[in-house]
Chain A
């Protein structure tokens, strides 16, 4: 595709422990187009943040990355040297982190930290660099920008710092922005503002955006496409409408059942939950990662096995009888078998 900014195929991250291997990320593929927002959702520890660091080649030293394809604007950056990668970072791919309180260096002014990026990638220094920094701060809604430039991070609030981070990231007009939980550490009211700012600027600059979050509210507000990550794998991917209206993977259903939706959930009714724990990612899997965590993710009519019609050509997927769009998908054969027996018991 011509306007594809990033294409990652079959990315795995292994972290060797003493005597064993932690498979933090296991064979995931993602792609982002220009002007598109891809949300990666999943609970903590599922490998979302490592995925973003792997794209930047900023993984901790002991983590091992294996990937089949890593393309930026159609050209491979897989075999780039450290030097070449550092030319890409901050220039073509920008990154925004979760903790605005600690992501800026306490010893330098906002100006110093903004201008150094321009000097590094665009060879713009002095007055011109300062002018651009001021413009960018104004764009992210920081006023008075000139005074803020002279300030140190500790003089700014969390929301302001995150705005500075965004401004800093946008300075070199990257083609892709990776935002790793950019609003998690902020107050709820500030969260909405920052998110709005981020999506607006993304539209202005027509950049691709990977938004990593565990907050489905954030996803609903800003995503074009959604990738749901669970235990190091992407279990389901689709447009935001597909995922919210018709989730097929039981994990996605479980996640969605945990959100209180006004009008849908009746007073006194229990919110959903996903039973069990995320499996340990140390060592090899002998069975399905989602085994034992199905809970009540099947709907009422789906519990009747007679209502499920297998879909040709798609593994473990079924149409609910009488509908054309209601798909139930099981993660694997063993889960399917177990569920079938459970369902049939319910029928009997």
Chain B
């Protein structure tokens, strides 16, 4: 027998693995995200001080790199003398909680609507598309602010409001990916052999849209985090004395001309977290669907 030329192939999993390791943005993003998650979980262990403890005698201490700074308060203290580093550490909990909570709620709403629209088409699709259009035409920040103002600002309210407002992208993406999968031969085959709709949705459709779902969820987490910070900054999000990063910027802005670190520290933290969650999301999209890249 003659030898056929070697057909080289890599298994899909090892392909993804090597793409992950080669994807610089994703490596940086996931490292920072993991770090922030660890900090949030271990906050009571690593925070040097009680984030709510006020010490009016030690107000506005500058951070350690300033000539007036001390190692006692590495990132200094705020206008009420609370340790800035500890507040920053506890603040990561709020950002993550709101990001994940809001993405979870909006993910459930959006996925349900999107998959229904994509799978059943026709009237269902018309209604869902209409709902998406309505949702998109309502200004998120304004509606969120108004609701928070009426109901009162708290962690739960902010999560709920953002969750109810951010489902549009889930619905859009899930709708189009379900639509695509529905037209695949294997779904037609499953229908032809008489599988129930629920079964087809769970075993044929969902596993194939789950990649997209995770990517959108990641990007929406970042979106929710940044919106929460904006709401809290405007005074209509998470309420004091909770250490939200947006609130910290807001509290520091009156003194930003004299003590600029009051806004740079929480701002950089916010920026770094949102950036790395985005990098992680973009990276996952590139890695799981290299053919869709660019």
Contacts and interface: CB of A to CB of B under 8 A. Distances in A.
State if A and B touch, Cβ cutoff 8 Å: yes
Interface of A: 276-277, 279-280, 282-283, 285, 287, 291-292, 338
Given A280-B6, A282-B8, 15 more contacts: A276-B4, A277-B4, A279-B4, A279-B5, A280-B5, A280-B7, A283-B5, A285-B5, A287-B2, A287-B3, A291-B2, A292-B1, A292-B2, A292-B4, A338-B2
Secondary structure class of chain A's binding surface, majority of residues: loop
A285 B6 CA distance: 11
14 contacts: A276-B4, A277-B4, A279-B4, A279-B5, A280-B6, A280-B7, A283-B5, A285-B5, A287-B2, A287-B3, A291-B2, A292-B2, A292-B4, A338-B2
Contacts of B6: 280
Interface in B248-263: none
A282 B5 CA distance: 9
A291 B2 CA distance: 7
B294 to A, nearest CB: 14
A280 B4 CA distance: 9
Contacts of A277: 4
Interface of B: 1-8
Could you say which of B2, B3, B6 has the most chain A C-beta atoms within 10 Å of its C-beta? Answer: B2
A284 B1 CA distance: 20
Contacts of A285: 5
Contacts of A287: 2-3
A269 to B, nearest CB: 28
A285 B5 CA distance: 8
Nearest to A338: B2
A309 B235 CA distance: 98
A54 to B, nearest CB: 24
A282 B1 CA distance: 21
A324 B3 CA distance: 36
Secondary structure class of chain B's binding surface, majority of residues: loop
Closest 4 pairs between A and B when the two form their complex, measured CB to CB = A292-B2, A291-B2, A279-B5, A280-B5
A290 to B, nearest CB: 10
Nearest to A290: B2
A208 to B, nearest CB: 36
A13 to B, nearest CB: 19
A287 B6 CA distance: 12
Nearest to A291: B2
A292 B3 CA distance: 8
Contacts of B2: 287, 291-292, 338
Contacts of B1: 292
A279 B2 CA distance: 12
Nearest to A335: B2
Contacts of A291: 2
A81 to B, nearest CB: 29
Contacts of A276: 4
Nearest to B6: A280
Nearest to A277: B4
Contacts of A292: 1-2, 4
Nearest to B7: A280
Contacts of B5: 279-280, 283, 285
Contacts of A338: 2
A285 B8 CA distance: 15
Nearest to B8: A282
A283 B2 CA distance: 18
A279 B8 CA distance: 12
Contacts of A280: 5-7
A287 B1 CA distance: 13
A277 to B, nearest CB: 7
Contacts of B4: 276-277, 279, 292
A285 B1 CA distance: 17
Contacts of B7: 280
Contacts of B8: 282
A232 B10 CA distance: 25
A112 B4 CA distance: 51
A338 B1 CA distance: 10
Nearest to A276: B4
A338 B5 CA distance: 18
A293 to B, nearest CB: 9
Could you say which of B1, B3, B4, B5 has the most chain A C-beta atoms within 10 Å of its C-beta? Answer: B5
Nearest to A19: B8
Nearest to A289: B5
Contacts of B3: 287
A120 B51 CA distance: 72
Could you say which of A276, A285, A291 has the most chain B C-beta atoms within 10 Å of its C-beta? Answer: A291
A280 B5 CA distance: 7
A292 B6 CA distance: 14
A280 B7 CA distance: 7
A26 to B, nearest CB: 14
A61 B1 CA distance: 39
B10 to A, nearest CB: 11
Contacts of A283: 5
A277 B2 CA distance: 13
